[in-house]
Amino acid sequence: MSNVPLVRKAIVGASLAHAAPSSHPNPTVGEAQESHWTPAALERAGSTLKALNRMAKRPPVHIMFEDVSYTVSSHKGERKILHNVSGEFRSGELTCILGPSGAGKSTLLNILAGYNSNGVNGRIAVNGHTRDMRIFKKLSTYIMQDDLLQPRLTVQEAMKVAANLKLGKELGNAEKELIVEEILQTLGLWNHKETMTEKLSGGQLKRLSVALELVNNPPVIFLDEPTTGLDVVSIRQLVVLLRLLSRQGRNIVCTVHQPSASLFSLFDKIYVLARGMCCYQGSPDMLVPYMSEAGHICPTTHNPADFVMETLVTNGECTAQLSELCQNGKLCKRLDRMTTRGGRTPVLHSDESIQRIFTEHVTKDQAYKVEFPTTFWTQFIILTTRMLLQNKRNTISHWIQLSHHLLSAILLGSIFFDVGNNAAVPVVNFKFCLSCLVFFMYTYIMIPVLIFPLQVRLLRREYFNRWYSLKAYYAALTVSSIPSMLILTTIFLLITYFMSGQSLEWDRFFLFSFCAVLVAMCSEGLGLAVGSAFSVTNGSIIGPATAAPLLALSCYGMGFGPFIENSMKYMMSASYLRYGVTGFAVALYRDRNVMECPIDFCLYSDPKLILRDIGMEEDAYGKQIIGLIVFTTIHRTLAYLALRYRLTTEFSNRFMMYISKFLKHR
At residue 423, the pLDDT reads: 81
What per-residue confidence (pLDDT) applies to 80?
A: 86
Query: How do strand 220-223 and strand 140-143 relate by DSSP bridges?
Result: parallel
Residue type, 191: N
User: What confidence score (pLDDT) does residue 257 get?
Assistant: 81
Q: What is the pLDDT of residue 436?
A: 95
For residue range 512-553, list pLDDT tens digits in order. Answer: 999 999 999 999 999 999 999 898 999 999 999 999 999 988
Q: How far apart are CA 113 and CA 221, in angstroms?
A: 9
Q: In a 10 Å sphere around its CB, with 0-12 CB exposed, 13-18 middle and 19+ buried, how is residue 522 labelled?
A: buried
**What is residue 154's predicted lDDT score, i.e. its pLDDT?**
95
Sheet order of strands, 269-274 included: 140-143, 220-223, 251-256, 94-98, 269-274, 277-282
Instruction: Give the other-Cβ count within 10 Å of 392's Cβ.
Output: 12
pLDDT at 337: 44
| Residues 242-266 pLDDT 10s | 898 888 889 999 998 878 888 888 8
3 state SS of 300? coil
User: Which residue spans of the chain are classified as CATH 3.40.50.300?
Assistant: 24-335
CA gap 136, 140 in Å, rounded: 6
Of 41-45, 563-567, 641-645, minimum mean pLDDT range? 41-45
Residue 414: its pLDDT value, please? 94
Lowest mean per-residue pLDDT among 107-111, 374-378, 383-387, 603-607: 603-607
Please state, as a whole number, how many other Cβ atoms lie within 10 Å of the Cβ of residue 114. 20
Banded pLDDT at 142 (limits 50, 70, 90):
very high
- Mean pLDDT for 142-150 is 84
399 contacts: CB under 8 Å, gap ≥ 6: none
Q: Convert 534-546 into a string of H (helix), E (strand) and C (coil).
A: CCHHHHHHHHHHH
- pLDDT > 80? residue 32: no
Is the predicted pLDDT of residue 344 greater than 60, yes or no?
A: no
Q: What is the mean pLDDT of residues 224-238?
A: 84
**Considering just the CA atoms, what is the radius of gyration of the chain in Å?**
31
265: nearest Cα among 341, 202, 343? 341
Residue 352 confidence (pLDDT): 39
In the chain, DSSP finds a helix count (H) and a strand count (E) of 27, 10
**pLDDT category of residue 335 using cuts at 50, 70 and 90:** very low
Q: What is the mean pLDDT of residues 264-293?
A: 89
Q: Which residues of 201-223 are buried (b: 16+ CB within 10 A; e: fewer)?
A: bbbbbbbbbbbbbbbbbbbbbbb
What is the CATH code for 24-335?
3.40.50.300
Q: How many CA atoms lie within 13 A of 221 on its CB side?
A: 30
Sequence-separated (6 or more) residues with CB below 8 Å from residue 435? 412, 415, 416
Which of these ranges, 328-342, 435-449, 499-513, has the smallest mean pLDDT?
328-342
Q: Measured between alpha carbons, how far is 250 from 141 in angstroms, rounded to an integer?
A: 11
| Complete DSSP assignment for 564-602 | --HHHHHHHTT-HHHHHHHHHHHHHHTT-PPPB-SSS--
Nearest CA to 174 among 163, 184, 165, 166?
163
What is residue 69's three-state secondary structure? strand
Burial string for 74-97 (b: 16+ CB within 10 Å, else e) reads eeeeeeebbbbbbbbbbbbbbbbb
CB 15 within 8 A of CB 35: yes
Dist CA 236 CA 238 (whole Å): 5
Q: Is 407 or 27 the better-scoring residue by pLDDT?
A: 407
What confidence score (pLDDT) does residue 151 get? 92
Residue 351: pLDDT over 50: no
**Weakest mean pLDDT among 32-46, 362-376, 537-551:** 32-46
**In angstroms, rounded to a whole number, what is the distance separating the alpha carbons of residues 42 and 109?**
27
User: pLDDT-derived band of residue 649, with 50, 70 and 90 as boundaries?
Assistant: low
In contact, 31 and 24? CB cutoff 8 Å: yes
Q: Is 122 in a helix, a strand, or coil? A: strand
Those residues whose C-beta lies under 8 Å from the C-beta of residue 648, and which sit 6 or more positions away, are none
pLDDT: is 604 or 144 the higher one? 144
- Do residues 647 and 460 lie in contact, with contact meaning Cβ atoms separated by under 8 Å? yes
Q: Beta strand 129-130 with 120-126: parallel, antiparallel or unpaired?
A: antiparallel
Reported pTM = 0.81
Whole-number pLDDT of residue 230: 80
Binned at pLDDT 50, 70 and 90, residue 652 comes out as low
For the chain, how many residues are written? 666
* pLDDT grade for 559, boundaries at 50, 70 and 90: low
CB 87 within 8 A of CB 278: yes
Position with higher pLDDT, 119 vs 511: 511
Q: Which one, of 267, 230, 185, lies nearest residue 15 by Cα?
A: 185
**End-to-end Cα distance, the chain:** 70
